[in-house]
Amino acid sequence: MKRSIILVVCAMSWLFVANTHAAISYQPHKRVHNKIDASEDKETVFVTSLMQKMTLAEKIGQLSQYVGGELLTGPQSDALSDSLFVHGMVGSILNVGGVEKLRKLQEKNMQLSRLKIPILFAFDVIHGYKTIFPTPLAESCSWDLNLMYETAKAAAVEASASGIHWTFAPMVDIARDPRWGRIVEGAGEDTYLACKIADARVRGFQWNLGAPNSVYACAKHFVAYGAPQAGRDYAPVDLSLSTLAEVYLPPFKACVDAGVKTFMSAFNSVNGVPATGNRWLMTDVLRNKWQFNGFVVSDWNAVQELKAHGVAETDKDAALLAFNAGVDMNMTDGLYNRCLEEAVHRGQVDMQAIDAAVERILRAKYALGLFDNPYRFLDAKRECREVRSANITALARKAASSSMVLLKNDHNMLPLSKQTKRIALIGPLANNRSEVMGSWKARGDEKDVVTVLEGIKNKLGNNVTVTYVQGCDFLKPSTQEFSAAFEAAQQSDVVIAVVGEKALMSGESRSRAILRLPGQQEALLDTLKKAGKPLVVVLMNGRPLCLEKIDKQADALLEAWFPGTQCGNAVADILFGDVTPSAKLTASFPLTEGQIPNYYNYKRSGRPGDMPYSSTARHIDVPNKNLYPFGYGLSYTSFAYGKMQCASQFDADGVLQVAVDVTNKGNVDGEEIVQLYVADKVASMVRPVKELKGFKKVFIPKGDTKHVEFTLHARDLGFWDNNMQYIVEPGTFTIMVGANSEDLQQQDVVWDGKEKQ
Ligand code: BGC
Q: Convert the pLDDT of each residue in 447-467 to its tens digit.
A: 999 999 999 999 999 989 999
User: pLDDT category, 7, cuts 50, 70, 90?
Assistant: very low
pLDDT, average across residues 106-132? 97
Q: Which residues does 647 contact at the CB level (< 8 Å), separation at least 6?
A: 656, 657, 749
Q: Please identify, by atom number, the ligand 1 atom nearest to the C-alpha of residue 508.
A: 8
Order of strands, edge to edge, in the sheet holding 92-94? Answer: 166-167, 120-123, 92-94, 64-67, 330-331
- Residue 78 is predicted with a pLDDT of 63
| Three-class secondary structure of residue 458 per DSSP | helix
> pLDDT digit string (tens) for 419-444?
999 999 999 999 999 999 999 999 99
Mutate-to-test residue for ligand 1 from 268, 332, 508, 510, highest number of ligand atoms within 8 A of CB: 508
Number of Cβ atoms within 10 Å of the Cβ of 175: 30
- Residue in 270, 260, 269 with CA at minimum distance from that of residue 293: 260
- Residue 21 is predicted with a pLDDT of 31
pLDDT at 6 over 60: no
User: pLDDT category, 70, cuts 50, 70, 90?
Assistant: low
Q: What percent of the chain has pLDDT over 70?
A: 93
> pLDDT digit string (tens) for 556-603?
999 999 999 999 999 999 999 999 999 999 999 999 999 999 999 999
Q: Please identify, by atom number, the ligand 1 atom nearest to the C-alpha of residue 267.
A: 8
> What is the Å distance from ligand 1's center to 51 Cα?
30
Q: What DSSP line would sit under 170-219, residue for residue?
A: -B------TTSGGGGGS--S-HHHHHHHHHHHHHHHTTTTTSTT--B-EE
Mutate-to-test residue for ligand 1 from 185, 300, 327, highest number of ligand atoms within 8 A of CB: 300
Using CA atoms, how far residue 435 sits from 81, 136, 397, 419, 564, in Å, is: 34, 16, 17, 30, 9
Mean pLDDT of the chain: 93
Q: What is the DSSP letter of 333?
A: S
Q: Whose CA is nearest to atom 10 of ligand 1?
A: 168
The bridge status of strand 295-297 relative to strand 262-265 is parallel
What is the spatial distance between Cα 683 and Cα 687, in angstroms, rounded to a whole number? 7
Q: Whose CA is nearest to atom 8 of ligand 1?
A: 299
Please confirm, yes or no, whether 257 is among the known catalytic residues.
no
Burial (CB < 10 A; 0-12, 13-18, 19+), residue 72, is exposed
**In which region does residue 423 sit, left (phi positive, over 0), alpha (psi from -120 to 50) or beta (all else)?**
beta
Q: Pick the more confident residue, 620 or 317.
A: 317
The active-site residue out of 299, 328, 555, 721 is 299
Q: Please identify, by atom number, the ligand 1 atom nearest to the C-alpha of residue 185.
A: 9
Q: Which of 5-9, 16-20, 348-352 has the lowest mean pLDDT?
A: 16-20
- Residue 458 is predicted with a pLDDT of 97
Number of Cβ atoms within 10 Å of the Cβ of 137: 30
Sign of the dihedral defined by the CA atoms of residues 510, 513, 516, 521, in that order: negative
pLDDT, average across residues 716-722? 96
Q: Which residues have C-beta atoms less than 6 Å from ligand 1? A: 94-95, 124, 168, 220, 299-300, 508
User: pLDDT category, 250, cuts 50, 70, 90?
Assistant: very high
- Residue in 600, 610, 602 with CA at minimum distance from that of residue 632: 600
User: pLDDT category, 76, cuts 50, 70, 90?
Assistant: very low
Burial (CB < 10 A; 0-12, 13-18, 19+), residue 353, is middle
Q: Whose CA is nearest to atom 4 of ligand 1?
A: 300
Using CA atoms, how far residue 734 sits from 681, 688, 737, 750, in Å, is: 7, 12, 10, 9
Mutate-to-test residue for ligand 1 from 124, 439, 441, highest number of ligand atoms within 8 A of CB: 124
| Three-class secondary structure of residue 334 per DSSP | coil
pLDDT, average across residues 10-24? 35
- Residue 74 is predicted with a pLDDT of 46
> What is the Å distance from ligand 1's center to 549 Cα?
35
Q: Please identify, by atom number, the ligand 1 atom nearest to the C-alpha of residue 218.
A: 10
- Residue 754 is predicted with a pLDDT of 83
> What is the Å distance from ligand 1's center to 121 Cα?
14
pLDDT at 16 over 70: no
**Could you give phi then psi for residue 160, rounded to 5 degrees?**
-70, -30
- Residue 297 is predicted with a pLDDT of 98
pLDDT, average across residues 127-148? 98
Q: Which residues does 707 contact at the CB level (< 8 Å), separation at least 6?
A: 659, 660, 661
- Residue in 167, 149, 129 with CA at minimum distance from that of residue 204: 149
pLDDT at 408 over 60: yes
> What is the Å distance from ligand 1's center to 264 Cα?
9
> pLDDT digit string (tens) for 660-693?
999 999 999 999 999 999 999 999 999 999 999 9
What is the spatial distance between Cα 696 and Cα 173, in angstroms, rounded to a whole number? 23
> What is the Å distance from ligand 1's center to 276 Cα?
14
- Residue 450 is predicted with a pLDDT of 98
Residues pairing with 513 in the sheet: none
Using CA atoms, how far residue 34 sits from 30, 137, 257, 357, 668, in Å, is: 12, 32, 12, 17, 49
User: pLDDT category, 90, cuts 50, 70, 90?
Assistant: very high
pLDDT at 26 over 70: no
pLDDT, average across residues 466-474? 98
CB 100 within 8 A of CB 107: no
What is the spatial distance between Cα 572 and Cα 627, in angstroms, rounded to a whole number? 26
**In which region does residue 532 sit, left (phi positive, over 0), alpha (psi from -120 to 50) or beta (all else)?**
left
What is the spatial distance between Cα 323 and Cα 345, in angstroms, rounded to a whole number? 15
Q: What DSSP line would sit under 679-741, residue for residue?
A: EESS-SS--BS-EEEEEEEEEE-TT-EEEEEEEEEGGGG-EE-TT--EEE--EEEEEEEESSS
Residues found in the chain: 757
pLDDT, average across residues 274-303? 98
> What is the Å distance from ligand 1's center to 315 Cα?
21
- Residue 611 is predicted with a pLDDT of 74
> What is the Å distance from ligand 1's center to 601 Cα?
29
Q: Whose CA is nearest to atom 12 of ligand 1?
A: 124
pLDDT at 72 over 50: no
> What is the Å distance from ligand 1's center to 96 Cα?
14
Q: Whose CA is nearest to atom 11 of ligand 1?
A: 300
User: pLDDT category, 612, cuts 50, 70, 90?
Assistant: confident
- Residue in 158, 99, 92, 98 with CA at minimum distance from that of residue 126: 158
- Residue 79 is predicted with a pLDDT of 72
pLDDT, average across residues 360-383? 97
- Residue 69 is predicted with a pLDDT of 59
Q: Pick the more confident residue, 75 or 609.
A: 609
Q: What DSSP line would sit under 566-589, residue for residue?
A: THHHHHHHHHTTSS------SS-B
What Rg value do the Cα atoms of the chain yield, rounded? 26
CB 714 within 8 A of CB 654: yes
- Residue 68 is predicted with a pLDDT of 82
Number of Cβ atoms within 10 Å of the Cβ of 350: 13
- Residue 724 is predicted with a pLDDT of 95
- Residue 116 is predicted with a pLDDT of 98
pTM: 0.95
Q: Which of 23-27, 192-196, 269-273 has the lowest mean pLDDT?
A: 23-27
